[in-house]
Amino acid sequence: MVVSLSIYDDLLSGDEYLKEYNLKRNPFDKISAESMTSEEIKEMHVVTAADKKIATNLSTIIGGGSATVALIGEYGSGKSIRASSIAETLKNKGALVFYTKLPGGAPGIVTYALFESVCIPIINNKDVPEELQEYASKLWDEFREINSLPETKFKPYEAGQKLAGLFHEISDKGFTSGLVIDEFEEIIEASIQREVRKTFEILREYLSHAVGISKHITVICSTPNAWASLKEIHPAVATRIHVEIEFKPVNEQIAVEIVRKRLNAFRPTKQKDLSPFTEEIIHTVNKQYATGNPRMLLLVLRSILDVAAHAKVKEIDQQTIEKGVEFAREKLKDAQSERIKQILTPKMRDILEIIIGEKEGGPVIGTALADELGMDQGNLSRYLNQMAALNFLNKHRDGRIVSYEIKPELRLIFAEELGLTQDKQAEKNEEE
């Protein structure tokens, strides 16, 4: 009998090439929290010191206390995965947990998004008391038309107080509750500063009146740059966040464990070895190409594994890494550019513009650079060390002299982000 093949047959067997490594599929495919189930997150997540801090605060909530927590990390550092797991943990204990990604724009738009994310689920939840449904319904009737209100009639402090009041009602009815605000940076990046200040007033009032609500937690996920802007524009909001948990670049040990867990999740039987990788190869990829960013690490490893499998490489070497990185070049570049946009402060941009545009990437000595920028040497050192910790700069010490240079693999990406590519630099020189 002749079997006719459909156009999808080859695609359905697309992961057959990975059987050489005893893998059912590429374990680095699922990168974002949205693409993973809670079971997959649990199986593949590597616990860090940040997770232990989160667990401590969850224990406080479950025990009857309250908490406000900021999860601060760059793009791809794992904030959303933690936020998703916080919500899942509380829901498993019967809590009412509300999740929102606040949009940028006018305060009315943000207010609408906040009340929609909390009121609508309560109204539609048949397992909550009728009085609570009615309370949420009245609030929703009040705020659903907020965008059509004249600006002069909009009162940010009232919106914040009433949102906190809803969570007081939830607590009074005996429920544990949580409000998770993800992608906080959108408020700052997509709004004008006057509107940002009004939005922060809403959050300030909400946080002020949410303090002490029994069995309630507020979680805000933010990039470091946006969090620094919050502290600068409206420090009163930041002071109402009791716990700040910052996600640092992952070290060699964590990177190896991430790979080990991912490989085992997609193997029929668990095994200790990392084949076709080695610890040294993972260290190289994490340091040189992923720069300690978990999402970048997965993105690069996904392409390296594909290249290795199609070339039938038994053990990945430096040549395979380079081919894999080239294969992932555009995605890698896009991810790095997004990461840089979210992290760089205006002052960091000024410093990098000098290093790249005038010093050809470095190395530069901090003391000399401070004079050129007219900056206090201590402040400049703080920025340079911060960018070194982010794996944007290489730091060298020779006795008492410390120098910095742009990581070679990031030089072009930074130049493009700062408008300092060769063509644009030539135009700039002509203008001068």
Chain-centre distance of CA 412, in angstroms?
A: 23
**C-alpha pair distances (Å), 348 with each of 116, 258, 276, 382:** 37, 31, 39, 10
Confidence of residue 16 (pLDDT cuts 50, 70, 90): confident
| Predicted confidence (pLDDT) at residue 102 exceeds the cutoff of 70 | yes
Tokens of 5: 């093949």
Q: Is 189 exposed, middle or buried (0-12, 13-18, 19+ CB in 10 A)?
A: middle
| Predicted confidence (pLDDT) at residue 417 exceeds the cutoff of 70 | no
| pLDDT attached to residue 103 | 80
In the chain, what are the domains? 38-246 (3.40.50.300), 250-337 (1.10.8), 344-431 (1.10.10.10)
Provide mean pLDDT across the span 47-55: 93
pLDDT digit string, tens, across residues 402-414: 888 887 767 766 7
Confidence of residue 276 (pLDDT cuts 50, 70, 90): very high
The residue to which tokens 């190395």 are assigned: 363
| Predicted confidence (pLDDT) at residue 205 exceeds the cutoff of 80 | yes
Instruction: Compute the distance between CA of residue 391 and CA of residue 131 in angstroms, rounded to an integer.
Output: 53
Q: Decide if 112 contacts 146 (C-beta within 8 A).
A: yes
Query: pLDDT exceeding 70 applies to what percent of the chain?
Result: 87
More confident residue, 57 or 339: 57
**C-alpha pair distances (Å), 325 with each of 53, 274, 285:** 35, 19, 9
pLDDT digit string, tens, across residues 353-371: 888 888 888 788 877 788 8
| Predicted confidence (pLDDT) at residue 401 exceeds the cutoff of 50 | yes
pLDDT digit string, tens, across residues 304-344: 998 888 888 889 999 998 888 887 776 666 666 666 766 67
As a whole number of Å, the CA-based R_g of the chain is 25
| Predicted confidence (pLDDT) at residue 151 exceeds the cutoff of 50 | yes
Residues ≥6 apart with Cβ < 8 Å to 272: 260
More confident residue, 431 or 167: 167
Provide mean pLDDT across the span 26-38: 82
Look at residues 166, 169, 158, 203 and name the one whose alpha carbon lies nearest to residue 184.
Answer: 203
**Neighbour-count burial for 316-325, b at 16+ CB within 10 Å, e otherwise:** beeebbebbb
